Structure 1
Amino acid sequence: MSDSLWGYQPASGHTTGADLTGYAVEATDGSIGKVDKHSDEVGSAYLLVDTGAWIFGKHVLLPAGTVKRIDTEDRKVYVDLTKDQVKDSPEFDRHQQTEDPLYHEQLSAYYMAYRIM
């Protein structure tokens, strides 16, 4: 894995500039929603996931480093997290925190606890 959670893992199959909007997002134990927005920005790449009815319409911000694999044929993104890990992530406000460095630090601390080295 890369040293930063805010960049895609080399083995993920991510191609810079590829549009992941609408891709289904799969945790290690099932579906968690779909990609609503994403960023390829170096050092700040992420997926904004709309969890739909699964956790009452909540949006979650997933650092790109949590992406294990992207399947362009099936339009699915697989992340190295369980549904509970995503559900219990720090509260997200899409209108204020998408690009907020302090929120990114908070997310990094949360997700680093689950990172497999």
Structure 2
Amino acid sequence: MRVYGVDLNNVTSTGFDVHLVADTAVKPKRSDPSFLGSIALFRHDGPQAASAGPHAGHGAAARKAADTFDVTRALVASGQTDPSKLNVVIVPYSLASTVDDQKSIVETNALKFDNIEFLSSG
């Protein structure tokens, strides 16, 4: 599964775990088989169009960030073979707390992305 167009410009102290679940009523945990991984917070997204200077448009197109996750474990655990029948859930967590410390998350709208696509091999 790939999350395209990840925009972390407004994120300062929040991380984001990604899950593939059948039941959205239950808050998933990292220990669940639905856990796919976390959105990468530290990345190099390539040149930006505004900073490309006089050579903008000469092969230096800005790349949008994308994160890729293996959904195999979540599919097996759910008994499902079609990932489009499951739900992608993104769970924010505070970067300034421990797992047991339930700090409130203030950046609930900080993560933005363009779309999610399921990929297959073979």
TM-score by length of 2: 0.28
TM-score, reference length from structure 1: 0.29
Greater fraction of residues in helix: 1
Larger Rg belongs to = 2
